[in-house]
Amino acid sequence: MAETKREIERKYEATGETPLPDLTRVAGVAEVVDEGVMELDAVYHDTPDLRLAADAVTLRRRTGGSDAGWHVKFPVAAGVRDEIRAPLSDTLPGELAGLLRSRVRHAEIVPVVRLRSARDVRHLLAADGTLLAELSVDTVHAERLPSGAVATWTEIEVELADDVDDPALLDAVEKRLHKAGIRPSESPSKLARALAETGPAPETAPTAGKPGSAGAAVLVYVREQADAIVALDPAVRRDLPDAVHQLRVACRRMRSAFKTYRRVLDRTVTDPVGDELKWLAGELGVARDQEVLDARLHARLAGLPPTLTLGPVEARLRRRDAALAEDARRRALVALDSDRHLALLDTLHALLADPPLRKAARRDARTVLAKAVRKDHDRLGGRIEHALVLDPGHERDLALHEARKAAKRARYAAEAARPTLGKPAKKLGKRVKAVQSLLGEHQDSVVARAALREFAIQSHGAGESAFTWGLLYGREEAAAAATERELPEVWARAAGPELTAALTR
């Protein structure tokens, strides 16, 4: 069974003769204990074209030391990585292989570097003996596989203990090291340094489109979403907070970009890709929609006084939550493991390697993007006006849902144009986001009412009181009516013609 460890560390340049300063002068460090030298042997694996290294992801099989086994490391922030460990075995464990699938896809995983290190370890302890951090002086011998090219160096590594997450300690240690003439390493990891010193480095993503052109601007945004889809795949598998939502958003942003900027990218190529993105977002949507509904119903129920909670309301809600959540997660994982998902990832890679640019892609980005943003803004206005003339009820609910979709598209259009159009696009996007949020609140109420009605029917059929469900239903009706009353004012702030006029100034 794999386990996860948050690794917070910093690396420094050194030689075999570099003296360490007295670290007991660091605030909080009472003692530095020499733990001796351990021999580590790790073989790093990657695809032949180094896809993992290109994304700062590492896969290694280590023997020796206290953490022998298979390790996958994902970057979190500068100097912070999540390390997922699995027991030592001859072949890559399936659980770790799944975490790498979005990057590796159908490519073979092969040994690329062997690192043998003599690690001289010191423990930094608090006055009560608590381990604060581990400092090691590593003498590293790197061998590129299969070429046999070698490199050697010495580095100092300082890593916080598992139960310590305050970087202030690392700052204080770094200050002492700096005074001793020890400087931060220019390389983020041993593997990165080994690759740089023994052979070809990982390939960088190709650029496309003339700088300043509409094609270049749109492709930057599309690439950001493609990178997010790849990176969030393992996050969903690890069940990290908000990962499902963020992956769905990346799918939606890319689909919106294809539609908004269809004068830039050939829709005969992008439309089928958009269909697959819609499929993936839909499979993931079951889990995300369930999360949103659960949170809303529990909040509504918590807001009721106990005297108005009649029958086993909480128990029925929890049973439904557990059953639906399990089914939703299973469905999401099946989608991520499917050949269809891998084919989508391959298609996105091919599209960015050879983008289907149209004639307008060569034109000035400001002109093309501003026109596209205004068009989506006008489209949103039309849908809101249509919804507001309808009588309250099912048809208006449907129309407001369509307006919400249009608001998302207009917001994403402004978001993609922001690097090109600057503050006017940012301001427009912010105003449209407020509209989207209000319409989202309305749609959440529509979905909640449908669930509450079902709860009431089930409770009545089981001989339980349906009073509480009916009460919550009424409150959701009132909440929806309030958003409908508020919408004209919120839209008016986003509809001002000066907002879209400013895009071309």
Mean pLDDT of 341-354: 96
Reduced to 3 states (helix: H, G, I; strand: E, B; else coil), residue 393 is coil
Mean pLDDT of 89-114: 96
How much is the pLDDT for 208? Answer: 65
Q: What is the distance between the alpha carbons of residues 256 and 270, in angstroms, rounded to a whole number? A: 11
pLDDT at 318: 86
DSSP type of residue 213? B
From the list 245, 256, 293, the residue with the least C-alpha distance to 278 is: 256
Instruction: Reply yes or no: is the peptide bond before residue 424 cis, omega within 30 of 0.
Output: no
Q: Any idea which of 8-22, 119-133, 467-481 has the lowest mean pLDDT? A: 8-22
The CATH class given to the 208-363 domain equals: mainly alpha
Q: Which pLDDT value is given to residue 287?
A: 77
Specify burial of residue 187 (Cβ count, 10 A radius: 0-12, 13-18, 19+). Answer: middle
pLDDT value at residue 207: 63
Q: Is 81 buried (19+), middle (13-18) or exposed (0-12) by CB count in 10 A?
A: buried
Q: What is the DSSP letter of 49?
A: T
319 confidence band (pLDDT: 50, 70, 90): confident
Q: Which of 379, 421, 395, 407 is nearest to 490 (CA)?
A: 407
Given the structure tokens 């700052």, which residue do they identify? 171
Average of per-residue pLDDT across 185-196: 93
User: Which runs of consecutive H residues, i.e. helices, occur in 189-266?
Assistant: 190-198, 214-237, 243-260
**What percent of the chain has pLDDT above 70?**
99
CA 166 – CA 154 distance, rounded (Å) = 26
pLDDT at position 101, please? 97
Q: For residue range 254-284, what is the model confidence (pLDDT) as tens digits? A: 999 999 999 999 999 999 999 999 999 999 9
Structure tokens at 134: 């581990």
DSSP-derived pairing of the beta strands 150-160 and 3-14:
antiparallel
Structure confidence at residue 292 (pLDDT): 86
Q: What is the pLDDT of residue 288?
A: 79
d(CA 279, CA 300): 31
pLDDT band, very low/low/confident/very high, at 90 (cuts 50, 70, 90): very high
Confidence of residue 437 (pLDDT cuts 50, 70, 90): very high
- Number of residues written out for the chain: 505
Q: What is the DSSP letter of 203?
A: P
Token pair of 107 as six digits: 């490519």
Mean pLDDT of 470-475: 95
Phi and psi at residue 320, in whole multiples of 5°?
A: -65, -45
* 107, amino acid identity: A
Q: Does the pLDDT at position 124 exceed 90?
A: yes
Distance between CA atoms of 369 and 265, rounded to whole angstroms? 12
Pairwise CA distance, residues 96 & 4, whole Å: 11
Average confidence score pLDDT of the chain: 93
What is the residue type of 82?
A: D
- Which pLDDT does position 299 carry in this prediction? 92
Q: From the CB of residue 319, how many other CB atoms can be counted at a distance below 10 Å?
A: 11
User: Distance of alpha carbon 107 from its chain centroid, rounded?
Assistant: 23
Structural tokens at position 426: 């940012």
Q: Average pLDDT for residues 370-379, to the nearest whole number?
A: 96
The three-state secondary structure class of 76 is strand
pLDDT greater than 60 at residue 431: yes
Relative orientation angle of helices 339-353 and 313-336, to the nearest 10 degrees: 60
CA dihedral 182, 184, 186, 188 (to 10 degrees): 130
3-class SS at 221?
helix
Q: Does the structure show a pLDDT above 70 at 179? A: yes
- Residues 210-251 have pLDDT tens digits of 778 999 999 999 999 999 999 999 999 999 999 999 999 999
List Cα–Cα distances, 449 to 442, 452, 475, in angstroms.
Answer: 11, 5, 9
Cβ neighbours for 473, distance < 8 A, ≥ 6 positions apart: 449, 452, 453, 456
Q: So what's the pLDDT on residue 209?
A: 65
The model's confidence at residue 290, banded by pLDDT at 50, 70 and 90, is confident
Q: Give residue-wise pLDDT tens across range 298-318.
A: 999 999 999 999 989 888 888
The pLDDT of residue 1 is 56
Angle at 155 between CA 152 and CA 158, to 5 degrees: 150
Report the CATH superfamily, name and number, of domain 3-198.
Answer: Hypothetical Protein Pfu-838710-001 (2.40.320.10)
Q: What is residue 182's DSSP assignment? A: -
pLDDT of 116 over the 80 cut = yes
Residue 395 has pLDDT above 80, yes or no: yes
Q: Distance between CA 250 and CA 342 in Å, rounded?
A: 16
For residue 86, what is the enclosing H or E element?
Answer: strand 80-86
**Spatial distance between the Cα atoms of 469 and 451, rounded to a whole number of angstroms:** 9
d(CA 260, CA 415): 12
